Structure 1
Amino acid sequence: MFLIHSMAHFSSIYLPVLKMTGARKICEIGSELGGNTSILLEYADENHGHIICIDPCPDNNFYEKLINKENISFIKDKSLNAIFNIDCIDVWFVDGDHNWYTVFNELSLIDKVSKRDGKPFLAFVHDVDWPSGRRDLYYDPSSIPENFLHDYSWELGTVPEQADLISGGFRGAGAFAWAHQSGGEKNGVRTAIEDFIADGRVDEVEFLSIPGVFGLGVIVSKNHPFLEEIKSLLEPFANNPLLIDLEKNRLENYLELIRRQDEGN
């Protein structure tokens, strides 16, 4: 309750992009409690759009509340099973399992279906900065092939600028596991994006990184008809020093709160 962490907090940045590009069909990977989905659904209501949510375990209250609405569809499955069966998506929101294997393959599948459907690539990807930017997070380690799975812990936590996990810090308390080490090959969300672009797409897409709330990455086709307008909207936020400092301060305060709670103060 003390940490804002939802992609919803970037809505003032991404909604102008949706409106400007006239996005109608939107896919969200990972709905969690529905905070960001509710904002996208309001946009769809106002703009004759449709939302597709991919989540193997959506929040029951949220799911039951919206399942009968005409402009939202739920796919209760893992993203890597579902993406190829969806067509004609204008914008993707990627906020599911925050590890290299999942994100790299999500982006690769999105690229394939976008080219198949003649759609320019446009994706908003959450958690590109600390703590998941360079360290894998696993909700279900058994779903990751062994050769892509780092050693992990359900109990230990992470703090900025330290590669090893610690007893304390930011941790999942049984909800998720961290890779023991940060950095290195095939580790973390930002690394997955960089590797996706380096895999023959350097001349095809651009990447903008917006600090705050664990970081928002925006990947857009260089042939997108609204490329320059999108960049004009987003570049003032990209790698913004003020936002970087605010996020650093926010995380320091949160980690200090955790430390005091751990010590019983």
Structure 2
Amino acid sequence: MEATPRTAETDLRADPEHPEEPDRVGYSLANVVEVLVACLDAAGVSSVVEVGADRGLLTRELLDRAGGERGVTAIDPAPARSLEALQRERPELELIRETSHDALRHVEMPDAIVIDGDHNYFTVSTELRIIGERAPGADLPLLLFHDVCWPHARRDSYYVPERIPEEHRQPLVRDSAILPGEPGTVESGLPVECAAEREGGERNGVLTAIEDFVSSREGLELAAIPAFFGLGVLWHREAPWAGAVEAVVRPLDRHPVLERLEGNRVDHLAGRLSAFRVMMNQHDDIERLTGERDRLAATAARQEDLLRRMLDSSAFGLAERVSRLRQGGRPMFSRDEVRRAIDG
């Protein structure tokens, strides 16, 4: 196991599976791997369960830390192609294709659990209840969470809202945008596919679920590191490694400089993603207008061909002569006039 700080080697730029994400968005916990691994090392962790592995960016870091040994389990009901490719590349990875609520009921309790799955109160609180029942008191594993800061700290989001019982779902908004300081939705901001209409209130958000869990049990400590949407660290103060973990995270816990940096990052990110969305909409408009132009050009070409064939027909000549007779020698139209109109 590595015991010294290191820099992540994972490429955190845009993934081909997610072309809508400009590079360096920061959606992965791999962005804070140095702090996360320091917590694992401080607790002497040898087995890790990752809930919600997405593209496998953090998973690869956890596997590298394990040094080829078993001990890393990823839980994801719909693993990305890159995560499945990682499992083929690294057979020591155990991949459980189940929801967290199903998998956590039977998976062997590890030394640490990383929770970065569906970002809503019901999902996270149920995950914590299952873990707490299986590992009560000081037996609680070291728990690490993503999205304990804006936007998901106090606002639910849902990958598959139908999986959440209706009575536990917030009123939803789809394909919208949000901004810090705005509890509702906005025209232009950070895009959300399916999230709560409003930020805040009871039973809303990841951090709210964690805080409610902490308040319902004795001896728990929580730190929130405001970087890349927030890293949460939860442990029992009677765990033999509690002091070592606290020494890692307390200097960073809700640090005001980090909070300002994260706020600035999110503001710039929202602006960049808004511009990206505008650009994509303009691209769609250009494609639509190009298609309309091509359709009109094809129609005009067919009409021109029809007119030219009509000009060369005996029927047109007869119509021209009849018109000349009726108009006293000056027809309403002639072949020459029609040809000049077609040729421009």
Verify same fold: TM over 0.5. yes
User: What TM-score, normalized to structure 2?
Assistant: 0.71
Look up the SS of the partner of 1:74 in the other structure: strand
In structure 2, what is the equivalent of residue 33 of structure 1?
Answer: 55
Q: CA deviation at 1:85?
A: 0.1
| Cα contact 1:90–1:119 (8 A) shared by 2 | no
1:152 lines up with 2:172 in the alignment: yes
Flag structure 2 segments of 5+ consecutive residues without an equivalent: 1-21, 283-344
In structure 2, what is the equivalent of residue 74 of structure 1?
Answer: 95
1:23 lines up with 2:38 in the alignment: no
Aligned match for 1:245, one of 260, 272, 289: 260
| Cα contact 1:157–1:178 (8 A) shared by 2 | no
CA distance in 1, matches of 2:119, 2:127: 11
The amino acid across from 2:246 in the alignment is K
In structure 2, what is the equivalent of residue 195 of structure 1?
Answer: 212
Instruction: State the superposition RMSD in angstroms.
Output: 1.8
User: What TM-score, normalized to structure 1?
Assistant: 0.92
CA distance in 2, matches of 1:155, 1:120: 38
In structure 2, what is the equivalent of residue 143 of structure 1?
Answer: 163
How high is the sequence identity, in percent, across the aligned residues? 29
Q: CA deviation at 1:168?
A: 2.4
The amino acid across from 2:120 in the alignment is N
Aligned residues: 258
> Cα deviations across residues 85-142 of structure 1 (Å, max 9, x unaligned)?
01231000000000000001111111122239x8333100100110000000000000
CA distance in 1, matches of 2:40, 2:70: 11
Q: Could you say which structure has the larger radius of gyration?
A: 2
The amino acid across from 2:173 in the alignment is S
Look up the SS of the partner of 2:135 in the other structure: helix
Look up the SS of the partner of 2:187 in the other structure: coil
| Cα contact 2:56–2:86 (8 A) shared by 1 | no
| Cα contact 2:116–2:145 (8 A) shared by 1 | yes
> Cα deviations across residues 11-47 of structure 1 (Å, max 9, x unaligned)?
111212222322111100001110000000111126x
Q: CA deviation at 1:205?
A: 0.8
Matches within 5 A, 1:194-233: 194-199=211-216, 201=217, 203-233=218-248
CA distance in 2, matches of 1:113, 1:86: 10
The amino acid across from 1:192 in the alignment is A
| Cα contact 1:152–1:178 (8 A) shared by 2 | yes
The amino acid across from 1:12 in the alignment is E
CA distance in 2, matches of 1:61, 1:159: 30
Look up the SS of the partner of 1:236 in the other structure: helix
Aligned match for 2:77, one of 8, 33, 56: 56
The amino acid across from 2:213 in the alignment is F
The amino acid across from 1:101 in the alignment is F
Matches within 5 A, 1:164-203: 164-172=184-192, 176-199=193-216, 201=217, 203=218
Q: CA deviation at 1:70?
A: 4.3
CA distance in 2, matches of 1:127, 1:229: 23
